[in-house]
Structure 1
Amino acid sequence: MTEDTPPEGQQPPEDQPARGSMRFQDPDTTTPREPTLAEQRARRKAEQEEREAIEARQQANEVAERKAATRRKVLIGSGVTVGLVGVVAAWYIVGRPDEVSAVCTDANGVVQDDEYCDDSYIASHGGHYDSGTGLWIIPYGIGAGQYRYNYGGTGTIGRPVSGGTYEKPSSHTSVKTSSGKTVQRGGFGISGKSSSGSSGKSGGS
């Protein structure tokens, strides 16, 4: 054995890997090792957790969709309710017309007794309605003169009317005299009776 010959069982220095170094493995020729039992259990656990997470997301989406559908139904139901309330309110407003008082006056705007604006009274005294002037005319006898209703005004007999207008209200407005007689029926067939129970006459301009 020469000085350059290593002891039996030892590799020459050039064939021994240096301390702390790693051998290179060729992936094309190296056979991968089988995973250990611990690695297999860890992999199965990770796969199970992933499946559970996917199922949880699917369940959460289904719950959210059900809640959204319920909200849509509630909103639609609320819209129908609001619509019905609006219809009822509109009917109620139209069905209960405004009421305005009527004061009989002469052509000069002085308050007179209600009978001078009553068509039955005027007809019984040979009077008539002049559509051109909008006045009831009694040509002779007691109360001869020209008369018309003031709507919304106030006053006492023999004194000028205060406020109001001579323009006849719309057909949906109930018009009553100070004595309680209805001279215009408004709205949905509202009864035209005076406080005494007799039917009110249609009169005035």
Structure 2
Amino acid sequence: MQRQEPGITQPRPPTVAEARARDKARKRAEEAERAATAAAEQKKRTRKRVLIGGVAIVGVAGLVGGGYLAYRALTKPDQVTAYCTVIDQNGQEVTAPDDDCEVASTAVGSGTTGAYTGSNGIFIYNGHQYRYYYGGNNTVGKPPTGGTTVQPKGAQIATKSGSTITRGGLGTSSKSSGGS
């Protein structure tokens, strides 16, 4: 047995078998590193393609949805609120509760005595003149503002209480849609 002294004794050269084993291990490690890098690159490319495909699908869906909403906005009838108005004792037109116009128009439609339709969509019931005022933002008991007495063409008209006005003017009729 020989003594080895640190810093003086030199290591013996590796045997041929040891050198081959070391080379094989190094080559396997390099090959494993290359395979891991290639797998990471492939995964990155696949993820990028999936994201691009997803963005394209979302973009097409957004375009189709936007086109549909634009079409609906262009073809949808305007929403207009109709307010019942009555001529008060001073001869001034004031906003009345929706029920008053419904009762008056029902009486006109049923032929009740003292109920008839005047000119310009006015219906008279119990000596009071009622008509609808379209648009604006009106309060019961105050004069109507911000709208018109002429029924808008092609508009979907409903009262504030939820009744739908099917046609205005002569022979006005309405139907309740379950409003408050």
TM-score by length of 2: 0.48
Larger radius of gyration: 1
Larger helix percent: 2
Answer 1 or 2: which has greater strand percent: 2
Q: TM-score, normalised by structure 1?
A: 0.43
